[in-house]
Amino acid sequence: MLYPYWSLQAYLSADGTRFSHLGLAKTSELYFWIAQQFAQKDPDDPRDPLKSNYSHQRERFLIVPWEMYQASGNYLFLYPAIISEPASHPGEHRENG
């Protein structure tokens, strides 16, 4: 299978000017780690090893706890929260100060 090299997960404000969390992982390591979690699952335990959410279209999104993933030794870079200035539109004049 062919995957993008990097996977990025971010939590942004609705207007896109702030984020509270942003993590960057190597996609192949992330997917392999997820597969390992399911392979090591106790077959007698009906619960999945990772929580998940479903979209309105019934697509499944797995929730990977960053601390647990990072503790496994895989590459995970966590960026600090940043507040950015909203982008100005062409022709818009903004005063400094």
> What is the average per-residue pLDDT within 6-13?
86
Instruction: Give whole-number Cα distances, 2 to 5, 6, 28, 31, 36, in Å.
Output: 9, 12, 9, 12, 19
With a cut of 50, say whether residue 97 has pLDDT above it. no
Instruction: Give the chain's mean pLDDT.
Output: 83
Check if the beta carbon of residue 12 is closer than 8 Å to that of residue 67: no
Model's pTM, two decimal places?
Answer: 0.69
Tell me what pLDDT residue 74 has. Answer: 95
The H-assigned helical ranges of 1-97 are: 27-39, 66-71
